[in-house]
Structure 1
Amino acid sequence: MQPALGVDVTTYDHTVVVSVSGELDTDTSPLVARATGTLDLRPGGPALVLDLAGVTFIDAGALNMLLALRHNARAHGTTLRLRAVPAQAQQLLDLTGTRHLFTYCPGPAPGPGTRV
């Protein structure tokens, strides 16, 4: 059975947008981890935006992956920004007291020529 998750990585001028769609859970979060593990995260490198607009479900396993991704980004001198966080994900962040750990990027996904 195929994982119920889509991951698309798009690079703009100074921004890498990782768009996630479907169910983000313990079983599917390694797909996001693999997609982001190959990115060039470094000081002065591209900003990293995780676009969650298409996420239909999220669980604690996915939250662990988000926290690890945040830690990895910080360790490499950049910031992970979350965009279009669905209500269920916001509730999970609130219930676990982790919402304040993330930086949020409002508005539509960046396009060509956009700096985040």
Structure 2
Amino acid sequence: MEQQVQVLPDEGGVRVIVCGGEFDQDTLGPLREACAAAADDPGVRRIVLDVAKVTFVDSSMLNQMLLVRRTGRLVLAGPLPHQLDRLLDLTAARDLFATVEGIDAARTL
């Protein structure tokens, strides 16, 4: 699957960034830019990363998620793919992230 980063129109101060494909040090640029724009926008009260279609992640993706988490506005929308689920377990980072099933649940938190 080709990498995809799509920013959906904001609804009620919630910005959804849909991620698909592989995310590593070499391919993280579009996601990094979308996350920075969301974090810098004072009208965005919640940043949702839809990770359901992610096929590969490494520590650079985890680092990006941790940076966005520092805003206090990050929610992961799943279901979490196996690769990300395993990375969160291996790094003991699972409890750091609010995770819900699907974009609709993330919007209504």
Alignment TM class, shorter chain as reference: 0.7 to 0.9
Specify which structure has the bigger relative contact order, considering alpha-carbon pairs within 8 angstroms and separated by 6 or more residues.
1
Q: Which residue of 2 aligns with 1:98?
A: 93
Deviation sequence 1:57-89 (CA, Å, 0-9, x none): 111111111111211x22xxxx20001121210
Return the structure number with greater helix share: 2
Does the C-alpha gap of structure 1 residues 57 and 15 become closer, same or farther in structure 2, counting only changes over 3 Å? same
What count of residue pairs does the alignment treat as equivalent?
A: 104
User: Which has the greater radius of gyration?
Assistant: 1
TM-score (norm 1): 0.78
Q: Which residue of 1 aligns with 2:7?
A: 9
Deviation for aligned residue 1:41: 4.5
Gaps of 5+ in 1: none
The more displaced of 89-98 and 23-32 is 23-32
Give the superposed CA RMSD: 2.0
Query: In 1, Cα distance between the equivalents of 2:76 and 2:65?
Result: 9
